[in-house]
Amino acid sequence: MKVARSEVRRESNCDVHEDLSGTTEKQEKMAEDHRLARQIAEILDECRLSHAVHTRKLKELTAIRSTVPNDRFFPSFARAIKPLFDLSRRTPSSERAVRFVAAFAARFDENNAFACDAFLEEFLRFLLIGTNAAHRAARFRSCHIISEIIMRLPDDAEVSDEVWDEVIERMKHRLEDKVPTIRGFAVCALSRFASDTENSNIVELFLRNLSQEQNADIRKMIVLSLPPSNTTSSSVVESTLDVSESVRKAAYFVLGSKFPLQSLSIKLRTAVLQRGLSDRSPLVMKECFKMLKEEWLTKCCNQDPLVLLRYLDVETYESVGEAVMNALLKDGMVHLKEGQSIRQYLCKSEGSEGNCTSGIQLMEAEASLYWRTLCRHLQNEAQVKGSDAANTTGTEAVVYASEASEKNDLLETVLPETVSDYVGLVRAHLLAGSTYRFVSRQLLLLGAMLDFSDSTNRKVASSFVRELLLRPLEFDVDDDGNKIVMGDGVSLGGDRHWSSAVAELARKVYAAAGEFEASVSSVLKELIQPCRERTADFTQWMHCLAVAALLLENIESLRPLQGKNIEPSEMLHSLLLPGAKQAHLDVQRASTRCLCLFGLLERRPSGEIVQQLRLLFIDGPTPVSVMACMALVDLITWHGPAELDRAIDLDPEHSTSDTTNYSSVDSLNLENTGSTGVINLLHAAMEKDISCETNQSDYEENLHSILGEGFAKFLLWSEKYTSIPICSHHLFLRRLIILYFSDETKEMQRLTQCLSVFFEHYPALVPLHKGCVSKVFIPVMRSMWPGVYGNPGGSSTMVFRKRKLAVQASRFMLQMMQMPLFSKELEDEHSSDKSPKSHSLSAEPKLEIDCREGGLGIRIAAEVVNYSEKKTSAAKSYLAALCRIVVLIQFRSEEQEAIKCMRGFMHGMISAISNDKDLVKELNLMAARLRSLDLQSDQELPQDHAAAIFEKLGLDGNLKFESSVMPPVTPAPVSARTAPVRRRPRREALIDDEDDDEDDDAAATFEVPITPSVVNIRSQRASKTAAMSRMTAKANIHFSDDEEDDRDRSVLTSEDESDEGTE
């Protein structure tokens, strides 16, 4: 038994020794791991301080990894870098640490390749876990390190396809992250894989996010990451229109570095150059010119501007080719070779081949534009240097004069030697047919640089100009034998550019006083003879009218025509008025245009012109009516509407007294428009519905664009058109707003662009304009909201669309009311020596109630309270939409009567939308704010004061208004216990960490006074009211559709909205 006990004791001692030894080994291993992690952390701390030690520390950390098994090294490494994942700020020190970690992970050691690949793969798996973390800092840092590793990783890195696939999928998912910086790192990570054909879905994802991304930096990263292809080229070109300067600059960099000139279509090439060379940002212009000069001109065209112009199709995109040449000439990139000049096209050996006419070589379109812009540049340079020489003295003047002489000598060597040679060159291209029409026009513009002071040269040039004026219009003959005139039908040669070129050359040749008018009128007298004798066909009529238009466009008044070959009265009665009565449509259009030009040159418009234009506008064919509309708008702009009405013996006061008698031009004719002023006629046309017929769409767009632009001018310069009654301004403005927010006009680019500029300036000019916006608010909403006041409903989709447009219009009008004024007092103060503080205090003039937001609020409240029609779902949504605008209106403490008046409507408004609990709460909070602003809340608003306000705002006197304001509600007893402070939830940042701190600081210092609610029928606890006041008081007004869609969903849709359309 003793032996057995000793053996048991011995075995137990052995077990104890083994346990002790195992514990010791674990402790030693833990200590070793701790020491390793500490050593790695020390290396990271040193790398965090400076980039200079990175190379040395990389070698040191690589040596450590080679001596330690990966299963021990990686946990220590992960433990050492863990603090990085707790920092969401991009500080310089953390950025250096991240770059070092990424460089170490991507580093390849030839002596220990397997360990490097194993570590990289395990590290990527470790980071992928963090990309899906709920903690923002962990997601941010994981994506940051992954993107840095991928950008540094060599192409021959050995990583399993499974890991790469998982990395790509996780980064795709992170593209939808709500934090912009995380999305940016995801784009950087995926850009390495975008050029791989196996990952074509990455490019599709980039293109989709590019159109939806709100952050400019992310859009820039996406543009820089796009690979060159036919799919991406259009998206990169579209990015040249981005609102962000950095994105546009990046787009031009990508186009220059990744897309050769030949890979882009002509349309894309010209679009890129047209936008870039005229961009508002100098940096973008510089980047575009760098692309043009270094990539396209030097690498693709061998520094030959003519080759570059051939890639741009200058016949179609002349302005782009001219802008390119001007940019290259300004930079000194165009160099004339020896023997190069226009004279080389004049002399050609008899045995040569090619396009030749009478020993003249025909130019290409690119060459004609090249020589025209080059000669114009040399002429301008010579004039500038000559002016500098005249304005200076001494050696500097001699230098400038020498440079000017050098430029003039070079210009003389380039131009044809004689005027006869020049005329022969142009004639040769004219005889070559319509194919060389563009070249001929460029050569005509070139003629303005020649010297016609010699009588012989002037005689030759005068004969040539007369030949150009007498040159008949070009036309084709169809299968039925009918003539079809080429061109626009109203300009000489069928092209306004050709007419302008001929006029410029004629002005140069006939430089003496009165010589231009005498020469052109003599040609016109010769052309008008067949028209007088009624033997001319419609082509002769159009030719004669085109010459008349050229003459009228290039004189300043009709006085120079007195005593010439054809008098103004003779031109009017023998050509213009008879042409307007011709049966041919194009002749009527040309005559209408000439009547407008003639009327603009008169001191006062003649009654015959105004009457004829009114007749063509009302009863003429659609193209003629559009031209007559343009003529009337121009004459009103120049002479004023009163002068046009007096010209036909109309009293301006009576003719413009009622602008609502006619709803459409279709209802007007000569019998019932004798007393209708011209403004009323145009307004009736603007009220006409836009036609949806395909054959009328272009003309309707032109008509509404012209009228919209005209009435925008009349309203913007209302002080200059005093004959237009102020009481009619709101009618014009109402129609303009409806057109701006109409589905039918969204494709009318001219109209929308004009109105966008108009609405930006109109409410800020004078207080009267704000009053007009306030007055038009309710009529616009009544006209646009479907299902109310007789408006049609339609399908649920159509109803939703119409309601959304109406809501957008309401917010837009409120935004116009809140725009600051550009007052003259403010301008005077800025020009004085007052302090900025005094400027801000006295800049805002005192406004009447109808020009303030308070007046708009009362108008909306009166509409809600006094809505008398059936309360259908459309009516309920209409009233709710109005109430949602009311709660955004800001009342000021100085508007005491408006505040009391508004408080009188609050009970009625709450009752009208009582089914919408959220909106009721907002109205209660608004009532609380109004009570806090009311300095004498216990006093009633006198009835006479309320009536005066209603009269000022043009409201009906029989309104449901409670002047006594609702009695205050007895609040619940206040608890003695202090309310606990609620911990504010952590918010996800939208931009960057530094911005978050600023926002949090601002939120912490933002205070809103506690204003108890007194309007709700049942009592509410004061603490709840105060809390709701803090949440909604002084809320910023946003007019973005995306931000308000969720909020307005209940307003825009309803259960029985489709039923409404059938009611």
Strands (E), 134-180: none
Inform me whether the pLDDT recorded for 693 exceeds 50: no
Q: Which residues fall within 8 angstroms of residue 101, CB to CB, at 6 or more apart?
A: 44, 81, 84, 145, 148
Query: Are the beta carbons of 955 and 938 closer than 8 angstroms?
Result: no
Express as a percent the part of the chain with pLDDT over 70.
81
* Closest alpha carbon to 39 in 57, 55, 25, 66: 57
For tokens 């008008």, the residue is 528
CA–CA separation, 1035 and 1028 (whole Å): 12
Distance CA 437, CA 365 (A): 9
Instruction: Find the mean pLDDT for residues 1044-1060.
Output: 45
Q: What is the DSSP string of 712-746?
A: HHHHHTTTT-TTS-GGGHHHHHHHHHHHHT-GGGT
Distance in angstroms (rounded) separating the CA atoms of residues 77 and 127: 13
372-395, pLDDT tens digit by residue?
999 999 999 999 989 988 898 888
- Indicate the range of 68-72, 166-170, 910-914 predicted with least confidence: 68-72
Burial of 713 (0-12, 13-18, 19+ CB in 10 A): middle
**Contacts made by residues 1031-1039, CB under 8 angstroms, sequence distance 24+:** 1032/887, 1032/922, 1032/925, 1033/925, 1033/929, 1033/1008, 1033/1009, 1034/1008, 1035/888, 1037/811, 1037/814, 1037/815, 1037/818, 1037/888, 1039/808, 1039/811, 1039/812, 1039/815
Tell me: pLDDT of 750 over 90: no
Report d(CA 773, CA 810) in Å as an integer.
Answer: 11
Q: 919-969: per-residue pLDDT in tens? A: 999 999 999 999 998 888 777 778 888 888 888 888 876 666 665 554 444
Tell me if 590 sits within 8 A of 543, measured CB to CB.
no
The candidate with the shortest Cα–Cα distance to 966, out of 927, 1001, 1005, is: 927
Q: Long-range CB contacts (< 8 A, 24+ apart) of 571-576?
A: 571/524, 571/528, 571/598, 572/598, 572/606, 572/608, 572/609, 574/528, 574/531, 574/532, 575/528, 575/531, 575/544, 575/545, 575/548, 576/545, 576/548
Amino acid 886: pLDDT: 92
pLDDT-based confidence at residue 592 (cuts at 50, 70, 90): very high
Report pLDDT digits (tens) over 513-561: 899 999 999 999 999 999 988 889 999 999 999 999 999 999 999 999 9
Contact 175, 139 (CB under 8 A): no
Radius of gyration of the chain (CA): 40
Distance of CA 187 to the CA centre of its chain: 26
Sign of the alpha-carbon dihedral angle for 845, 849, 854, 860 = negative
**Which residues lie below 8 Å from residue 356, measured CB to CB, with a gap of 6+?**
348, 362
How does residue 480 score in pLDDT terms, banded at 50, 70 and 90? confident
Higher-confidence position of 349 and 706 = 706
User: Is 1045's pLDDT higher than 50?
Assistant: no
Chain segment 618-636, per-residue pLDDT in tens = 999 999 999 999 999 999 9
Q: Where does residue 419 rank: exposed (0-12), middle (13-18), buried (19+ CB within 10 A)?
A: buried
pLDDT score of 355 more than 70: no
pLDDT of residue 1048: 46
Residue 864 and residue 810 in contact, taking contact as beta carbons nearer than 8 Å: no
Question: How many Å apart are CA 292 and CA 288, to the nearest integer?
Answer: 6
8 Å CB contact between 768 and 718: yes
Q: Using an 8 Å Cβ cutoff, are 1011 and 928 in contact?
A: yes
pTM of this structure:
0.77
The mean pLDDT value of the chain amounts to: 82
DSSP 1011-1045: ------SS---HHHHHHHHHHHTTPPP---HHHHT
